[in-house]
Amino acid sequence: MKSSFKDISYTHQLVLLVILVLVSWGLLTIMGTIIAIPIWGMDSLSNPNILLNNQSFLKYFQVIQSFALFIIPPFLFKYLVEKFPSTTRNKHPQIILLIFLSALVVVLAQPFVSITGIINNNLSFPDSLQYIEDWMRGKEDSAQRATEIFLSYSHWSESILNICIIAILPAIGEELLFRGTIQPILMGIFKRKHLAIIITAALFSAIHIQFFGFLPRFILGVIFGYLMLYGKNIWLPISAHFINNFMAFMMYQVYLSDADNENNPLNVSEEYPSPIWITLSIIGVILILKYIKKRTVLT
């Protein structure tokens, strides 16, 4: 079946990718559940109250989902289409420098990302739609509780596993799917690179189903998209994505280590960053992206 779909249109490529994601997700979810039954028991798996407090199962299932949704489908797509764009395998002679700059751009972006998070979190619905807002807030709280499970640990070995779940697997998997596969397909469909980056970033943010964190995640998705476009190498958005998630992991560890610290970094701050920092943040991101674009073109 290798290269069986190499001549299909970009629109059909998108349909094929969606099918591969759904099939991969369905099959691995079933297989993962079958494997889990003798380990945790059917009673535990069928009781939501027990399941949400079962840290080992939640981490196990998160790994399954990462492979099912984000890692396996892009590789199956490449095998069937054999049409991965050259941008995913470009070997830049200064790749180490570009990876460093990709990590730096995420650090510099934080003040701007933070203010978008505050704005997004402060959105409120009219009274007639209050039930929708309550449902969305409930989803946010559930997502935060799950994240806290993945960030906390009692032994150093658990810390390594958590880094894999929180930072490594999402960075590799989500970038392979979104920036490595969906973004170039949409570029082929729309023939407009910037529009493809925006739509990909919106899909990337929406799939997390965290409505009051949509905007900051969307901004990060746009940055990852331009790293892919200008750097022409999938390892640039992967590196930036990893650093963003790893910073969140480290900040939470600092919070846990200080018993007197009541400022949970997972909670959205109500303190707006200084306008100066926001301005410098935007300028820094733009300058680094322009530099990466220039260095890639020159070589």
Percent of the chain with pLDDT over 90: 54
- Residue 284's Cβ-side half-sphere holds a number of Cα atoms within 13 Å equal to 19
Q: For residue 273, give the DSSP letter.
A: P
Q: In 3D, which of 292, 169, 163, 177 has the Cα closest to residue 236?
A: 292
Cα(96)–Cα(106) distance, integer angstroms: 16
Cα(122)–Cα(128) distance, integer angstroms: 18
Q: Phi/psi of residue 271, each to 5°?
A: -95, 115
Length of the chain in terms of residues written: 299
Cα(241)–Cα(285) distance, integer angstroms: 15
Tokens of 88: 């995913």
Tokens of 119: 């704005």
Residues 199-216: pLDDT tens digits? 999 999 999 888 888 999
Q: What is the pLDDT of residue 212?
A: 83
Residues 138-152: pLDDT tens digits? 777 777 777 777 777
Q: What is the pLDDT of residue 172?
A: 96
Cα(275)–Cα(291) distance, integer angstroms: 24
pLDDT range class, residue 153, cuts 50, 70, 90? low
Q: What is the pLDDT of residue 53?
A: 73
Answer whether 296's CB lies under 8 Å from 230's CB. Answer: yes
- Cβ neighbourhood burial of 284 (10 Å; 0-12, 13-18, 19+): middle
Q: What's the first-to-final CA gap in the chain, in angstroms?
A: 36
